Structure 1
Amino acid sequence: MPDAAGAIVEKLTGANPHPVKLILPPTAPLSAMAQLGKQIFFDTSLSASGKQSCASCHSPEHSYGPANNLGVQLGGADMQQAGYRPPPSLTYLYRQQPFSIGPDANDTDVPVDLAQVASQALGSARAQKNAGVAPAAPAMVPQGGLFWDGRADTLQGQALVPLLNPVEMANSSPAEVARKLASATYIDKFKQLFGANIESNASLLVTEAMFAVGRYQMEDPSFHAFTSKYDYWLQGKARLSAAELHGMKLFNDPNKANCAGCHLSKPTADGLPPLFTDTQYEALGVPRNAALAINKDPRFFDMGVCGPFRHDLAEQTQYCGMFLTPTLRNSANRHLYFHNGVYRTLEQVMDFYNLRSTNPEKIYPHDASGKVETYNDLPARYHGNVDISDAPFDRKPGDKPAMTQDEIQDIIAFMNTLNDGYKTSGS
């Protein structure tokens, strides 16, 4: 009866009948290291063009994603080089674990040979996705890491990559980055923190600079604000509308949208707020984005974990087509979706999930003979990697789609409750 009564309260008032106490990240003034990292994060002089900083692609006003609606960002020495992928948001990475394969792969101090672990994982069952909680023992699938393919393990490691990417900040080497840091207006802060000789050690200078950027992302609350309407609803401080409540139920329903199978929606057992990702990797078979410059070459395929931008798992073809499941927090504010930015609205994203298996002709292009080119952004030999077992992908062509258009709109209404910056009546 208590659960039935709670359901009635929820339906009539929109309030959470079982509010929880969330364990939120502590807030404190930024350390000297994080303050230095903030200066580096916004410093355009560190790019070859002199016009691009970390914040250029990761704008604080846009949930640390791009501020514009370009398919990919432009960079390089002349600011005319097209990027390879849409930059993901830098928010909610403070709990991201290093890249691993299989359960407890990092519970040892012995270095892990990922290729060897991946080889052992061949034939292992995929983890069963369930409603909003992580599997008790994840199957041998990739998880953790940063970037769409997990090739960086730390925020420090992630920060260096754009500085050296020829289509981003386009420095020729870490030594060039070091020379620019040595000429920066904040070099005295480096000396205060690391000693007067820091600028003479190029490798250490760059390493400490990237560590500082990582500390900025860990310490500044704007990277993990937890100020969404849903966070307040969890704590009993906000009420959801009828559409938002219905959307939440559909989001969590393993037989309907099943979003929570990958985008975990429940607080952890110890009260940490949900990050709306299981940090695992999935091959979803999203359509090819013909607008990307890199895709003008029909022989090019971005296959995520097995390449081409990471190389250590190139031979582990069971992972070709797999990309990191991103957080859905603030996703309603994004301009582009998926690793290749093929979709620009949540309606398009939901149509993909709803129709990919039942009506593929509405999702993919047709060849000259009229045949539907299913999974056209992945070589045919890897199509077996694409998820066809988890709802709503567990349907066949001609089946009824899992969701109606009205249900999709309610799910999107719920997803809008994941945007940070909600104002409660007491705020």
Structure 2
Amino acid sequence: MRHRQPGKGRSNGQVTWLAALILLAVGALALDARGGIGMLAEQLALLRTPQFEVPAGWPQPVYDFHANPITAAGFALGRQLFYDPRLSRDGTVSCASCHQQFAAFAHYDHAVSHGIGNRNGTRNAPGLYNLAWLPQLMWDGSAHNLEVQPLGPIANPVEMDAQLPALIERLRADADYPRRFEAAFGTPAIDSQRLLKALAQFTGTMISAGSRYDRYVAGDAGALDAREQAGLAAFRRHCAQCHAEPLFSDFRYRDNGLDAAPRDAGRATVTAVAADWGRFRVPSLRNIGLTPPYMHDGRFDTLAQVIEHYRSGIAAGDQVDPALRGGLPISDAERDALLAFLPALDDPAFTHDVRFADPAHRR
């Protein structure tokens, strides 16, 4: 059984575009010439607005949409802001610059994020999906709520390098944004709270739960072949302690043995606790085949390299997670099965969902 927050409908493409087109065609026949165009646009907007729904078997999310209910106008505003490079100081970098839909909203083939003036960040840009379940966000957990997460990259001098007051004034002076904010929130007033709420309506609805793995656990035995099923079994033996199903993360902070003496403080940046030095949030493995390179610093280009690290490359540092000391006893056969299974966590419907695409690119 799926659990919905009050007033919420289906998400993740439950209504097919064929059905949507049929619905619009029927609606067009019933509309008079005077009001037809506006009403069709309204229907289309509603169909393009995903609503928050907890997939079957998943825990309840951390983020609560009761205080920020999703509306067609709010979602559309958040989508526009996500893809707008004017959120950066010089108008060259948007949120989407480092979070590309085809890569499950990660930064494909970039070890670390590339920001304003082609400056390099220090960490790999993670994929954006299922964010409503994260108790903290960012690799080090420095953002404690989905609504405040954008403040980090917006202000970061090597990412978007924008001052929030100047950014708000830029949006207020725009010819279109006051109308968009009024449609979303009732008045044309633009402030940081509304900006962040709109972004949360967009990013919070990015639910990825349509992989072949999901079909398999839902009862479709043919969704995974025999080798992939063996890989799932190997995953559950060796990997699930940290990458717990169904979200494929326990959301804890761990040192996974990349370096004996980590240079990046990781979680200690936030806590100032020595034991947290070099620990990072365990990432979800959903869409793992779509989001290379891997690790917080993007040092591994392939999943084969990642698995080999856990088999034989664990550094003997003081803070290495006890579960990883000495490496994981993954056999060659299990390695091959894991490599077959992991792409079954990819969700192509999510990465091709037009509702999350750049609104400037009409499809």
The 1:300/1:420 distance shift into structure 2, 3 A limit, reads closer
Deviation per residue, 1:139-162 (Å, 9 max, x gap): xxxxxx100000101121111211
DSSP 3-state at the match of 2:132 = coil
Alignment of 1:275 with 2:247, yes or no, is yes
Decide which of 81, 86, 89 is 1:48's aligned counterpart: 89
Alignment of 1:242 with 2:226, yes or no, is yes
What is the deviation of 1:73?
2.5
Deviation per residue, 1:16-45 (Å, 9 max, x gap): xxxxx6658942643122221111111112
What is the deviation of 1:93?
1.4
Alignment of 1:93 with 2:131, yes or no, is yes
TM-score, normalising length: structure 1: 0.63
Letter in 2 for 1:94: A
The 1:300/1:277 distance shift into structure 2, 3 A limit, reads closer
Letter in 1 for 2:318: G
Decide which of 329, 336, 343 is 1:402's aligned counterpart: 329
Counterpart of 1:346 in structure 2 is: 303
Equivalents in 1 of 2:148, 2:283: separation in Å? 19
Alignment of 1:319 with 2:302, yes or no, is no
What is the deviation of 1:190?
1.5
Q: How many equivalent pairs are there?
A: 287
Counterpart of 2:189 in structure 1 is: 198
Deviation per residue, 1:149-195 (Å, 9 max, x gap): 00101121111211111111111x21111122213332212234446
What is the deviation of 1:331?
0.9
Deviation per residue, 1:267-311 (Å, 9 max, x gap): xxxxxxx111111111112149xxxxxxxxxx992111112xx3x
Counterpart of 1:306 in structure 2 is: 268
Deviation per residue, 1:327-385 (Å, 9 max, x gap): 0000111121111111111000000000035xxxxxxxxxxxxxxxx46xxxxxxx322
DSSP 3-state at the match of 2:147 = helix
Counterpart of 1:356 in structure 2 is: 313
Letter in 1 for 2:80: Q
Decide which of 140, 147, 169 is 1:179's aligned counterpart: 169
**Greater helix proportion:** 2
Contact 1:287 1:342 in 2 (8 A): no
What is the deviation of 1:412?
1.6
Alignment of 1:385 with 2:319, yes or no, is yes
Contact 1:42 1:54 in 2 (8 A): yes
Equivalents in 2 of 1:422, 1:176: separation in Å? 37
What is the CA RMSD across the aligned residues, in angstroms?
Answer: 2.4
Equivalents in 2 of 1:94, 1:356: separation in Å? 33
The 1:238/1:229 distance shift into structure 2, 3 A limit, reads farther
Letter in 2 for 1:48: R
Contact 1:280 1:324 in 2 (8 A): yes
Deviation per residue, 1:36-78 (Å, 9 max, x gap): 1111111112212322111111112210111x412223212xx
Equivalents in 1 of 2:193, 2:160: separation in Å? 17
Alignment of 1:36 with 2:19, yes or no, is no
Decide which of 174, 189, 194 is 1:208's aligned counterpart: 194
DSSP 3-state at the match of 2:133 = coil
Letter in 2 for 1:237: D
Equivalents in 1 of 2:76, 2:129: separation in Å? 18
TM-score, normalising length: structure 2: 0.73
Equivalents in 1 of 2:349, 2:247: separation in Å? 17
Letter in 1 for 2:242: C
Equivalents in 1 of 2:312, 2:90: separation in Å? 43
Equivalents in 2 of 1:353, 1:305: separation in Å? 21
